[in-house]
Structure 1
Amino acid sequence: MKFFVILGLLAAVLSFAAAGDYNKGLEEAKEAYPDVIQGTPEVITVEFDNGVFMDLGKNITPTETKNQPKVDWNADKDSYYTLVVVDPDGPSREDNYMRDILTWLVGNIPGKDIAAGDVLYEYVSAAPPKDMGMNRYFYFIFKQLSKLVFDEKRVDRYTIDGRINFSLKNFTIKYELGSPVGFNFDTTYWDQQSNDLYKQLNCCESLM
């Protein structure tokens, strides 16, 4: 009998801790994007190909984010979604004059089949500058009212155009996306992958 009581107490403690982590993560997301996030979006699953999972502010290195991750959420198969990944801290949290830095943008995702969506900006890794502290990378899922016609120029993974000073707020207003239905984020510091990405994009020499 005592064994089951202990199991029950342990489950309650773990549930309370998980709720605390969610509330803390949501508070940080709302602090970063107060004009975008309303309500209580779900925590989406973001898994990188090296088995590393995003977990509401967990530190992940740029190298670990080098390749496009798998993203999963509770999707309605008959609805369309938009995935946006942004860094509000570029180049640093103290002087974020480059915010938002856009690292991935896919619209018209049927259900949760990202591969079948409309890729507006191809995925690039996290790339915080050297000696400028921690950056955060937020993943947001928005449920569209209908299939959309996006007029943005399509940007590949070798191009910086349009990625700097992207406005998540203006984008959500433009396409009437409302508040995200899902989110997650990580924190990251510079490693060599940052410099490798700058070279790939042919930019940002001053940040190396």
Structure 2
Amino acid sequence: MPLKWLILSSIIGLSFAHVPGEDHHDREHHFMGPTDHGKASRGGNSPIRMSEIATRYVSPPLAPTYIHLLRHVPSQQFADFRPSQPLPISSTLSDITGQSLSSPFSPHEKSHSPFEPRFHVEREEISDEEWQQEILNSFQGSGLVPFVFDSIPAGLININFGTHNCVHMGTDINPESSAYEPSSVSWPSKDGLLYTLLLIDVDDQNKLHWLVINIPQDDLLKGDTVAKYSSPTPPLGHTHRYVMIVMSQEQYFVDLVVQRYSRNEACETHGNINLTDFQTAQGLSQPVAVNFFTVSHNIFVESILAYCGESVATRNR
């Protein structure tokens, strides 16, 4: 074939070659609104192209596309979206559309915050007499009155194990949560007074599980720990009651006064304590605040015992 005809055929072939944009797979895909299947309008019928969003409405090169933010925006709101400047990465959905948008899951629902809750619960106030009766009923029902206490003090100790375990006169706490000392303990206190706190297992001959003295008001962290907190380990097949008691002191205690109860490790055997003798010997008041919880045996108790070098068989003797 002569050279001039070869050149001419090449030129004609190029002119009829595939033109990008004429085939569906080469066209820029259109962004389809959630309700109109690609008919989102910009004032006419021209759909919004994905490439247009990427080039006009995103801050290059670090900002990601805003498609993930716009997927819940009604098509008309998106069609009116015309930022004159690139949007910062921290832009919110309201910043993009220029208006406050309601939730796509409930478009007419008013937004709420913790300071403006959706529901309001009326407060119920009870008298001091009713509160005392409630405490008395709980302690009598559990058998703590009259077998442990002759009477119930006016105060109740607030005890929390972590975020979700609040003790309220007999709450059942699992061994996993009670394995470590409470995250929060407080009680009604008076300025200038020192207090003693103890935790006992009344179903194991008043076994001592925790003893802290010289506590200013209810600041437990500033007290002196005599017996370190010991995890409740009720025997197999049993549920035990653990009672926390707070009493006021007449004076500051030196360590020698309570040395017989001293335990530096959680795994040390804390022994038992006679409440009446302890009160008399240390010059303590009657309990000013109390509370109690129960713990039932489960497999985690065996883990605690194993850590301390004991076994369930040894513990249950």
Give the match for residue 80 of structure 1: 194
1:68 and 2:175 are equivalent in the alignment? no
Q: Give the TM-score, by structure 2 length.
A: 0.53
Aligned partners of 1:105 and 1:122 also within 8 Å: yes
Out of 168-177 and 196-205, give the one that drifted further.
196-205
**Cα displacement string for residues 54-84 of structure 1 (whole angstroms, at most 9, x for unaligned residues):** 1101211121212211110111231100001
Rate the CA distance shift 1:16–1:118 in 2: closer, same or farther, 3 A: closer
In the TM superposition, what is the alpha-carbon distance from 1:174 to its structure 2 partner? 1.1
Q: Name whichever structure is richer in strand by fraction.
A: 1
1:100 and 2:206 are equivalent in the alignment? yes
CA–CA distance in 1 between the matches of 2:207 and 2:226? Answer: 14
Give the match for residue 265 of structure 2: 157
Q: Structure 2 residue aligned with 1:197, among 304, 309, 314? A: 304
Larger radius of gyration, structure 1 or 2? 2
Aligned partners of 1:81 and 1:144 also within 8 Å: yes
CA–CA distance in 1 between the matches of 2:180 and 2:252? Answer: 28
Give the match for residue 146 of structure 2: 31
Rate the CA distance shift 1:158–1:139 in 2: closer, same or farther, 3 A: closer
Q: Give the TM-score, by structure 1 length.
A: 0.78
Amino acid at match of 1:155: R
Amino acid at match of 1:128: P
Amino acid at match of 2:248: K
Rate the CA distance shift 1:83–1:16 in 2: closer, same or farther, 3 A: closer
Amino acid at match of 2:264: D
Identity of aligned residues (%): 21
1:180 and 2:294 are equivalent in the alignment? no
Residues 81-160 of structure 1 aligned to structure 2 (within 5 Å):
81-90=195-204, 99-131=205-237, 133-149=238-254, 150-153=257-260, 154-160=262-268
For structure 2, the 5+ residue unaligned runs are: 1-120
In the TM superposition, what is the alpha-carbon distance from 1:116 to its structure 2 partner? 1.2
**Cα displacement string for residues 135-180 of structure 1 (whole angstroms, at most 9, x for unaligned residues):** 100010001111122331531234333x233222221121021311
Corresponding pairs, count = 189
Rate the CA distance shift 1:178–1:113 in 2: closer, same or farther, 3 A: same
| 3-state secondary structure, aligned to 1:156 | coil
Structure with larger RCO (C-alpha < 8 A, sep 6+): 1
For structure 1, the 5+ residue unaligned runs are: 1-6, 91-98
1:48 and 2:174 are equivalent in the alignment? no
